[in-house]
A = this chain, B = another copy of it.
Amino acid sequence: MVTVKDQEFTAHHGNIRRLAEEIKAAWPTPVVIVHGGGSFGHPVAKKYGIAGGFTSDRQIPGFARTHQAMVDLNAIIVKALLDAGIPAMSVSPSSFIATDDGRMSNVDFEIVGRLVVRGVLPVLFGDAVLDRKKGFTILSGDQLAVRLAVSLGASKLIFGVDVDGVFTSNPKLSPEARLIDRLEIEKIDGFVKIGESLSTDVTGGMLGKVSEARAAVGEGVKVQFVNATKPDVILKALKGEPVAGTILTG
């Protein structure tokens, strides 16, 4: 919800500014932000087939451009946070993370952790990264957020999405869709039919988020899905106040 999904390279400045103010209201809660690609990274990555890995030299400019599109979106978000009075700092995933067949292994998050201790809010993002097997690929913000939460020993991982949480089916397509307050990770495979995201998303929509989030629950991180398009929901979630949404449990 930080971009207008069906308009390429269009940030949702209203949502970004409001979320920056909410984070400021909860500050100095130690926070790390990871944002996705929305209408910046996804269309470029899709056009050049970056997620599928290297097959042709013609993709190389697209790999570079996907990263720059994400840097551009990131700059808008970081500046909104700085303007709100938060010392936010861009941390660029592809500068220090390479994946192995699409998955992160042995990544050193020391700098991110030390920024938090120093009172800085690191802002990372889904990114075009080098991959040891595929040449390059897309590292989703979801995978990155889960790995960061586990690695830094976060108490909570909040997914801010554009619906109220995880539903029994896609609430944008199905009128019978019912919000699931608490979702046991053992029951996910048999129970939930989670629709794909409605717009261009190279990294899996809600299904991808829930699937990635299981690893965090297994490591004792409280995982919460909340609606970041509704005012004060992220603020309450940051403060630990009750809020509508889905909590993943072990």
Contact A95 B95, CB 8 Å, known A75-B72, A90-B68: yes
Nearest residue (CB) in B for A75 is B71
Which B residues lie within 8 Å of A95 (CB)? 90-93, 95-96, 111
Please, how many angstroms separate the alpha-carbon atoms of A90 and B71 in the complex?
A: 8
A64 contacts chain B at the CB level, 8 A cutoff: yes
Closest-CB distance, A96 to chain B (whole angstroms): 4
Contact A96 B96, CB 8 Å, known A68-B78, A87-B64: yes
Please, how many angstroms separate the alpha-carbon atoms of A85 and B68 in the complex?
A: 14
A98 partner, pick from B61, B114, B120, B135, beta carbons under 8 A: B114
A82 touches B65 (CB 8 A): yes
Please, how many angstroms separate the alpha-carbon atoms of A115 and B130 in the complex?
A: 8
A87 touches B61 (CB 8 A): yes
A88 contacts chain B at the CB level, 8 A cutoff: yes
Closest-CB distance, A53 to chain B (whole angstroms): 12
Q: How many of chain A's residues touch chain B, expressed as a range?
A: 35 or more
Please, how many angstroms separate the alpha-carbon atoms of A119 and B136 in the complex?
A: 12
Please, how many angstroms separate the alpha-carbon atoms of A136 and B119 in the complex?
A: 12
Which B residues lie within 8 Å of A64 (CB)? 78, 82, 87-89, 120
Instruction: Give residues of chain A (55-90) contacting chain B, Cβ–Cβ below 8 Å.
Output: 57, 60-61, 63-65, 67-68, 71-72, 75, 78-79, 82, 85, 87-90
A57 touches B119 (CB 8 A): yes
A94 contacts chain B at the CB level, 8 A cutoff: yes
Instruction: Give residues of chain A (129-146) contacting chain B, Cβ–Cβ below 8 Å.
Output: 130, 135-136
Please, how many angstroms separate the alpha-carbon atoms of A15 and B93 in the complex?
A: 30
A118 contacts chain B at the CB level, 8 A cutoff: yes
Please, how many angstroms separate the alpha-carbon atoms of A161 and B114 in the complex?
A: 35
Closest-CB distance, A140 to chain B (whole angstroms): 18
Which B residues lie within 8 Å of A92 (CB)? 90-92, 95
Which B residues lie within 8 Å of A60 (CB)? 87, 118-120
Instruction: List 8 interface pairs A-B (beta carbons < 8 Å), by A numbering.
Output: A60-B120, A64-B89, A64-B120, A71-B78, A95-B96, A98-B114, A111-B130, A114-B130
